[in-house]
Each structure stands twice: as structure tokens, then as C-alpha cells.
Structure 1
Amino acid sequence: MVVLVTGANGQLGQALQSISGNYPEIDFVFCSSSDLDITKKESCEAVFVKYKPNYCINGAAYTAVDKAESEQEKAQLINIIGARNLAEACKEYDTILLHVSTDFVFDGTNKIAYKEEDLPNPTGVYGLTKLQGEKAIQETFDNYFIIRTSWVYSQFANNFMKTMIRLASERDSLSVVNDQIGTPTNAVDLAEALISMICHTERSRSANNQQPTTYDLFGIYNFSNEGQCSWYDFAKKIFEINSIKINLSAIPTTSFPTPAKRPAFSVLDKTKIKKVFQVEIKDWKESLRTCKI
């Protein structure tokens, strides 16, 4: 079984590489943007004709939330055109696509955890391009999983956890917003969930004589760790676990203006993925303790 991973140098790509040795039955092909430029059809074609993957995990994305407001064309190129190019290649080569999306497709006005069928309403360019990327995939073919996630961190690449630890080494005090509520997601947990989805799907395909149309697995799923917190709570726990002493203050979002508006509440309901794929999900605090730089 060949699993192609795009965005190999990103958080998810590196997380998948870190656990790939645990799955000897899978032949992983990791492609960075220099190996596979999803914005170019010919690049997608060249990689797919060479490896003929059974599955493609799309970890490539434009994720600079604030910069997207001034780099709309670049965000659109990667998040929309790139997603469509991959979907078209997957359709041509009978590849099942696992596409990672975001909680930013929602506006954050909910009071309870967002379900997959809740109406998206992005408030910024990043969320809008990710939603349009989802739609581009859905318009192209049916054999896809769209996995929406939130607040991804890890020991890899750039993320909130590593930024907090770095800033704590440079400053005596920090202020972090406490009125944006969501759920941190360990990229390794997300990687494990994606592979679980692939393995479960393979078992289902075998049981149905390799006919993916005979079962109803494809569609949109939410995945994050369990629980919820504010960014302030997240930072506080990071410092606590890493035995870092710093003067940490909680501030409202209005005290920290950014080019892109953040959802005030973006907790995701994971009932569907747990029920369909029997995925076990760790509490965010438990998972954070396992993440060491």
C-alpha cells in the first residue's frame, strides 16, 4: 500500500515521518514542495504516474493566517488550486484523498462544539480559501476524506508551543489572549488518526471486494484532541509542563489586534470520527505532556 504525503516539511508531514516506521505495511512517499508542487498540474501528474499511490494525505497548505489577508493570490493558489489539482490527480489514478482542513472555516459564534454539518462562515482569507479548497475537492470526485482540525502544535516546524518556549527564553513576561476558546491538537495524534482512517478504509474495501462505493465512509470529519481551553490556558500549561517560570498575563483579543479575525470559539465535535473509525482521542493536556522539543 502506497501512501503519498504532501507538505513533508510541515508539522503534519514531519509528524507522519516520525511514526511511519510503526507501519511496515505502508510504503510512505514523502514529498516536500520542491518534490511536488501542488499548484502545478504537471508536478502532480509526474509524481502520481511514478508512484501510483493508493492514498494521498495532503499536508500542504498556506497557513499564515494574518499574511493571507495581504497575500490572497498565494493563499488561493495553494489552498484552492492546489487542492483541486490533487483531487484531479487522485481521481485519475484511483487514489483516495485525505485532505486536512481547519476550524477557521467557521466564524466562531457557536456556543457548543462544531459538528461537520454545521454551516461554515469564514471571517478571513485563510478560512475562506480552505473552505473553497474543500469545495473544489467535493466538486471533483467522491473518494475523499476532509479532516478539519485546530490549533496544531508539535516538536516540528513553527507553532504556538515552540513560540511560547522561545519567547519565554527572551522575556520575563508575556501576555496571551484568554477569550478565544478552542482545542490544541498534537500533530502526532492527528497523524495517527489519519493512518487509522487509512487502515480502517483498507479493511472495509477488502470486505467489499475493493468497491469503495459500497460503503459510506467518505466525507468530512473533525479531529482535535479532547477538551477545550483559551490560548492563555494553553500557554500556562506549556510553561507548567516545561518547568518554565515567567510572568504570564491574560488579555482580551481587543488588546492584541491582528490583520485576520480569529474565531472566538472553535471547539470541534469529534463524535463522528470516533464512531466511524473507532479513533481514541487523548485529552489535550495529556497529549501536551508527551511533546518534547
Structure 2
Amino acid sequence: MGTWSTTPREGLERLDITDARAVDEAFAAGRFDVCIHAAARCNLDDCERHRTLASTTNVVGTGHVVEACRRTRTRLVYVSTDHVFDGAPASAYVETDAPRPLQHYGVTKREGELLALTLEDALVLRVPLLYGLAGPDEKATFVTSTLERLAAGQPVYADGEQVRYPVLVDEVAAVLARLAEGGVGGVLHFSGAEATTKYSWARRLAHAFNLDVTLVHARKESSLAARPRDNRLGSTRLSALGFEPPLTLTEGLDVLRHQREAAR
């Protein structure tokens, strides 16, 4: 059983995790072996402006899912974020490093982690910025909005300071599916290994899709929420479990290009 909350998807059921009764009813009807919990309010500035709403979804809602898993003995895989860290590592963050979130979103996700880890066999997977193509009825991503603007001959202004380690959402889905089979608990990191800024990334998108790179301009991103400068996650534990390293950005952009062509 798959669910949606704000964007309807064919074949999926609507579920509001802030509604404890609805969560209980879904678990009672589903008889699940495992629950992959990826629902969250995740726009950093939105979480800063609407702290109560962010906490209600990311903490209270997660608590409802955790308790439903506890009652039904369902294994939980909780999707978390690199924003539980403060962006000042001496080297890549490992799973045992102490979280120090800079903004309310990171605080709520860390609280969600702690709730999840009260379950004996729970797994927390921290991931960085994800990228992929959005469908026609889905919220635009950085990739899709950048491509749309460039294709229309419009300028793209992107941050050139904050360092990101993007990973293709398809790869995260594959890792989650494998981890859902069981045998691993605690905290894991899965991250792209290639550093980039949104400015550099937008330029690479332009090159990959044969669009005008001169339309891409660097501009410091204004933000209400504090944003870590460099939140590199180390994925050594996942590698030790036999998982392949993620695609490079060049390889990932090739995947996106083929997906886009196939969808036309």
C-alpha cells in the first residue's frame, strides 16, 4: 500500500499522518510487514515560518506512525535528512556524529529520528538533496524548474555557495526497497559523493540537455532558515553492507535525459 497526502497519485491511498485514527485504520487494514515513512513537511523556509505545522507533521505525525508500528509489530524505515547536521564537518559526517541542526526543519527531523529509534528494529536512512523528474501534476523540482526556464529562454539564478551532494531519487528508492527486506537497523547514510552548488549544477543541466548555459547566473540564496554550508554524509556503513556507490552527477544526468526522452 502506498499513500499520498497533498498530491493525488493514481493507485495510492490518501493518508494524513497527523490524524492518529486514520493512521491506525490504515495499519489495521494493511497488515504490513514494513513501513517506509517518507512523509514530511520539508521546505526549510516554510518550516521556519510555520513551526507548529512543521512539528505537527514531522514530529506528532511521525509519533502516530511509530506507535502504529509498535502495536502491529511492523518494521519501520524512517527517511531523514542531512539537515540534522550543522554543516561544519572536519570530514564527512558518519552515523555516530552528534546531530546539531541549524533550523526548525532539522530539529523536527531529529526528533522524528529519536521517535523512530524507540522501535527495536527500526532503521533511519539519512539522505541529502534528492533530484529527479517531476510528473505533470507534481510539484516542480530544482531540475524540472531549471530545465523549463532554460528551454523558455529565461534566466536561472542559483546559489553558488552552499555545497550539496545530490543523489538521484531512483537510487534512493532502490536502496530503501533493499533495506526494507530487513537485517539492518540503526542509522545509515546514503549520499552522492560529488560536491556541487546549485549554480554549478544548473550549468551542468544546461550542458546535458543542450540548453543555453549563459542563461545561468550565480546569486546568493536568500533564506529565512539557516542553511548549513557543507553537509557531506559519509556512506561507509552502507558500502560495508555491499551497496554500490551512487551514480556520479554526469551518470545521473544521463539517466534523467533518457527518462525525459522516453516520456515524450
Short-chain TM bin: 0.7 to 0.9
Aligned to 1:257: 222
Aligned to 2:97: 118
Aligned to 1:107: 86
TM-score (norm 2): 0.88
| Alpha-carbon distance change, 133 to 45 in structure 1, aligned in 2, over 3 angstroms | same
Distance apart, 1:129 and its partner CA: 0.9
> What amino acid maps onto 1:45 in structure 2?
D
Structure 1 alignment gaps of length 5 or more:
18-28, 205-216
The partner residue of 1:152 within 111, 125, 130 is 130
Q: Kindly indicate whether residue 217 of structure 2 is the aligned counterpart of residue 240 of structure 1.
A: no
Q: Kindly indicate whether residue 252 of structure 2 is the aligned counterpart of residue 287 of structure 1.
A: yes
> What amino acid maps onto 1:290 in structure 2?
V
Q: Secondary structure at the match of 1:147?
A: strand
The partner residue of 2:155 within 158, 166, 173 is 173
| Alpha-carbon distance change, 171 to 262 in structure 1, aligned in 2, over 3 angstroms | farther
The partner residue of 1:39 within 18, 34, 44 is 18
TM-score (norm 1): 0.80
Counterparts of 1:77-92 in structure 2 under 5 Å?
77-92=56-71
The answer to whether the Cα contact below 8 Å between 2:165 and 2:195 also exists between their aligned partners in 1 is: yes
Q: Kindly indicate whether residue 46 of structure 2 is the aligned counterpart of residue 67 of structure 1.
A: yes
The answer to whether the Cα contact below 8 Å between 1:5 and 1:56 also exists between their aligned partners in 2 is: no
Superposed CA deviations along residues 56-107 of structure 1, whole A, max 9, x for unmatched, are 1112110111111111111101110111111111111111111111111111
The answer to whether the Cα contact below 8 Å between 1:150 and 1:184 also exists between their aligned partners in 2 is: yes
The answer to whether the Cα contact below 8 Å between 1:173 and 1:246 also exists between their aligned partners in 2 is: no
CA RMSD between the two structures: 2.2
The answer to whether the Cα contact below 8 Å between 2:117 and 2:123 also exists between their aligned partners in 1 is: no
Q: Secondary structure at the match of 1:249?
A: strand
The partner residue of 2:37 within 58, 61, 74 is 58
The answer to whether the Cα contact below 8 Å between 1:197 and 1:277 also exists between their aligned partners in 2 is: no
Structure 1 runs, 4 residues or longer, greater than 3 Å off: 4-10, 169-172
Counterparts of 1:90-239 in structure 2 under 5 Å?
90-139=69-118, 141-156=119-134, 157=138, 158-199=140-181, 201=182, 204=183, 217-239=184-206
Distance apart, 1:38 and its partner CA: 0.9
Distance apart, 1:30 and its partner CA: 4.1
The answer to whether the Cα contact below 8 Å between 2:167 and 2:246 also exists between their aligned partners in 1 is: no
Distance apart, 1:176 and its partner CA: 1.7
